[in-house]
Amino acid sequence: MRASSPMPRLFGRGALALVIGAYTVYTLGPFLWLATMSVRTTGEISADHYAWPRPFHWEQFRIAWVDSDFATYFWNSAIVVVSAVAVVTLVGAAAAHALARYRFRGNRLIYGILFSSIIFPPQITLISLYQILVDYNLYNSLIGLTLVYISLQLPLTVYLLEGFFARIPQDLFDAAKMDGYGDIEIFRRIVLPIGMPAIATTLILNFIQLWNEFLFAVVLITDPEKRTLPIGIRAFMGDHFQDIGMIAAGVMISVIPVILAYAFFSEKLIRGMTAGAVK
Amino acid sequence: MATITSLRGSQAARAVSASSAAPATDPRQASWPVLAIFIAPALLIYFGLTAYPAFRTIFDSFFTIEGLERIPVGLANYKALLQDETFWVAVRNTFIWAFVAPILDVATGLLLALALYAGVPFARFLRIAWFTPVLLSYVVVAILWMWIYNYDWGVVNVVLRGLGLDALTRSWLGDPNFALASVIVTHAWKWAGFNMVVCLAAIHSLPSEVLEASELDNCGWGAKLRHIIVPMLKPTLLNLYVLAFIGKMKVFDLVWIMTGGGPLWATETVSTYVYKRAFNWNTFDLGYPSAIATVWFGVVCAAVIILNRIFRSKDRLEY
């Protein structure tokens, strides 16, 4: 930003501050409200929905974690998301490297095919994936859901990494070839280390998108023991509609990993999510 | 911004390599087995879990499928679709959403970006804070906003009562006239921050000479916005519009959790209707929902191509 910032002449500084303050309350307010409710009992909340927690009922989290099965949902989510992200990043990075680096016939065609599925409405694959997973005994299994998640994030991963990998200077590869590196070694010892910032961005982005995924999980998982967090919360709310304090605690449990990732990698995340939209 | 540099960088890299590469050991060539090792896993996943299911859905749309029984019915599903009033309500709602709501998203995003660009204190913090809702899952956003819209103790009605406007209080998600608008506002709440960040990056990449020249000409803020900033940001704004449009053609989670498509189909979207017909109603037929999904797949692809044509500038749109 330039030193002499162009202040709007249309509004005064006060009006601008007011608008900005109001919008900040509008975005962060609901979240803080949720946070206060998560450490209050439902009885307290019913008495006054907007009171400050006093005392802080931290045991709400223990109850949600142990008695309300949120631990199960949390670990299911963690297993599915971490394995899907690990596989999709490796597979996507390999494809992105080949597409960004090597000249071969059909390069852009393969890129286009992989990338174009980003606009597909999910229903076009959803109904058949349900049948296919039933056929292969992968319906209602975390492995089946993981496979589907890998395919969901593949286009975005290839797209983002291809863009970054294409910017690695060719000189590095020429030098590596002269030193006798093979193609696989080049990928392992040059592309992956140098591309690490980009890979980290896609890792976090894929993690958050899959952590929040709802539609495929709700169709492909029915066993309560195998629910991921989003469908676990939704099921819990269906059964205990009135138990606002416990719902809030469960929601907080699902949000905390995302907020932590955001706290540490906010710039990376924003860049990843907006890459491609900027012109 | 990032994309532009990436394109330039890759072109430069390719140009350099083209001039320096010796034909014998061209480092940009690789043998087919090597390429296969790199690309085959991705293609396998794509064909197994995206292309094959998509083709199968299109194929299935010509059958009635109940359990293991498949009865070919030709175009009967598509004919039934034309007569299906709920489907057309869902199409209307989705189109309202897809064409109108992006304007709300992009305009809010642009205004927020301009506010930050105007040089307010804590701009960095505000940018991060305003982006937060983008990261929350639809389940979380839906639950939060169901509480905000709660008739008895939701923030909206509490504030209205506090202002003495009791007449305006209502069950926001229960009133067929307001349910769709209420859910659209929630969706905009989630996505405004995304549009803000993209607009802000685009404003910062505008050539500063133009903005400085306009200041020398004593150009007012409103005129500057209308004659300089918006026209120069046009590619970005249109790109954001198309992105939001695609997102809204697919909208499911928020509607499903907040209203389930109700009341009286007021918020039914094509996605929720497909889900209901395939997995929720006890119709036990996967052929008919496959037909809806196929039609909608065609509509989304056509809409994206048409919007790309209309908005075509020198830059290719990217999603």
Length of chain A: 279
| Residue B64 backbone phi and psi in degrees, to 5 | -105, 125
- Residue B9: the pLDDT is 44
Question: Which pLDDT does position A277 carry in this prediction?
Answer: 63
Nearest to B1 by CA among B191, B149, B206, B183: B206
What are the backbone angles phi and psi of residue B156, rounded to the nearest 5°? -60, -50
Interface contact flag, A270 B41, Cβ < 8 Å: no
| CB nearest to B279's CB, from A100, A219, A247 | A219
Tokens matching residue A133: 């997973």
**Whether residue B29 has pLDDT greater than 90:** no
**Percentage above 90 pLDDT, chain B:** 46
Q: Mean pLDDT for each 10-residue chunk of chain A (279 residues)?
A: 45 76 92 92 87 87 89 95 96 94 90 88 92 92 96 92 90 88 89 90 90 94 93 91 89 91 84 67
pLDDT bucket at B7, cuts 50 / 70 / 90: very low
Better-scored residue on pLDDT, B88 or B4: B88
Secondary structure letter of residue B258 according to DSSP: H
For residue B127, pLDDT over 70 is answered with yes
CB–CB contacts below 8 A, A to B: 318
Residues of A in contact with B128 (CB under 8 A): 262, 266, 270
Bond from prior residue into B263 cis (ω within 30 degrees of 0): yes
Concatenate the DSSP letters of all residues of B205-232 into one string.
TS-HHHHHHHHHTT--HHHHIIIIIHHH
Q: Which among A113, A128, A204 is the top mutation candidate for probing chain B, defined by the most B β-carbons within 10 Å of its own β-carbon?
A: A128
Contact B300 A120 (CB under 8 A): yes
Nearest Cα to Cα of residue A96 among B319, B35, B315: B35
B49, B118, B240 ranked by CB distance to A277: nearest: B240
Residue A97's pLDDT is 94
Name the residue of chain A whose CA is nearest to B289's CA: A127
- Mean confidence (pLDDT) of chain A: 88
Q: Chain B residue closest to A185 (CA)?
A: B34
Q: Among A169-178, B25-34, B69-78, B132-141, which stretch is predicted with the lowest mean pLDDT?
A: B25-34
The secondary structure element, H or E, covering residue B63 is strand B63-66
User: ipTM, 2 decimals?
Assistant: 0.88
Select from B27, B50, B153 the Cβ nearest to the Cβ of A174: B27
Say whether A10 and B220 touch across the interface (CB within 8 A).
yes
Helix axes A13-38, B138-148, angle to 10 degrees: 100
Of A122-126, B141-145, B309-313, the least confident? B309-313
How much is the pTM? 0.87
In contact, B148 and A25? CB cutoff 8 Å: no
pLDDT digits (tens, 9 = 90+) for B259-280: 988 788 999 999 999 999 998 8
Confidence of residue B309 (pLDDT cuts 50, 70, 90): confident
Per-residue confidence (pLDDT) for residue B16, from 0 to 100: 44
Structural element, H or E, at residue B72: strand B69-72
Nearest CA of chain B to the CA of A81: how many Å?
Answer: 14
- State the pLDDT at residue A12: 66
The answer, yes or no, to whether residue B125 has pLDDT greater than 80, is: yes
The backbone torsions φ and ψ at residue B70, rounded to the nearest 5 degrees and listed phi first, read -120, 115
As a whole number of angstroms, the distance between CA A241 and CA A222 comes to: 20
Least CB–CB distance from B29: residue in A1, A103, A208? A103
Cβ contacts of residue B214 below 8 Å, gap of 6+? Answer: B224, B228
pLDDT tens-digit readout, B203-240: 888 887 777 777 777 667 777 777 888 888 888 888 88
What is the per-residue pLDDT for A276? Answer: 59
Decide if A140 contacts B319 (C-beta within 8 A). Answer: no
* Cβ <8 Å between B235 and A122: no
Quote the pLDDT of residue B313.
Answer: 54
Look at B198 and A126 and tell me if their CB atoms are within 8 Å: no
CA–CA–CA angle A139, A143, A147 (5° rounding):
90
Two tokens, residue A129: 């994936």
HSE-CB at B123 with a 13 A cutoff on CA atoms is 15
At residue A242, the pLDDT reads: 84
Q: How confident is the model at residue A229, as a pLDDT?
A: 94
* Predicted confidence (pLDDT) at residue B188 exceeds the cutoff of 90: yes
Task: Tell me how far apart the alpha carbons of residues A199 and A29 are, in angstroms, rounded to a whole number.
Answer: 33
Q: Is the pLDDT of residue B252 over 50?
A: yes
Query: Which residues of chain A are within 8 Å of residue B4 when distances are taken between CB atoms?
Result: 278-279
How many Å lie between the alpha carbon of A232 and the closest alpha carbon of chain B?
Answer: 10
